[in-house]
Amino acid sequence: MDEVNLRNAREITRVAGIEHHVFSFKDELGHTVDELASLRPGLCNCGVFRRQTLNKKARQLGASKLATGHNLDDEVESAMMNFMTDNLVRIARGMALSAARSSSEGSSP
């Protein structure tokens, strides 16, 4: 995470009164994301490692909730990977989620 995004995340959580913790793959797994990816080119399970680390740390902190942030790059990468691997089930699931999101945004509580 670059410094600007990290500063923004710290400020948002400070204003919201939410605890903010930062962990790194290097500290938790002994390798950076790039190092993990180079061990198995094309087969990096970075998302699995990320979720495993988040769950482990949440338990250690006694957290009852865990918030994560996803950016547009993540969304586009997932869509492109599904398209390129002809994963129609995931593409359809993503389209259904998008349609549900669009319809709920237009409704009133």
Are 18 and 54 part of one and the same domain?
yes
CA distances from 59 to 16, 78, 82, 91 (A): 22, 28, 32, 33
Distance of CA 99 to CAs 45, 56, 92, 102, Å?
29, 33, 10, 5
The range of the structural domain enclosing residue 27 comes to 1-69
Residues 83 and 64 both lie in one domain: no
Centroid of chain to Cα 95: 19
- 54/8 same-domain check: yes
Same domain for 59 and 77:
no
Quick one: 9 and 43 in the same domain? yes
18 and 61 assigned to the same domain: yes
CA-CA distances (angstroms) from residue 105 to 14, 63, 99, 101, 108? 27, 30, 10, 6, 8
Residue 60 sits in the same domain as residue 75: no
pLDDT for 45-94, tens place per residue? Answer: 777 888 888 899 999 999 988 887 766 677 777 778 777 777 777 667 66
Identity of residue 21? H
Total structural domains within the chain: 2
Model confidence pLDDT, tens digit, residues 16-47 = 999 999 888 899 889 888 888 887 776 667 77
* Model pTM score: 0.56
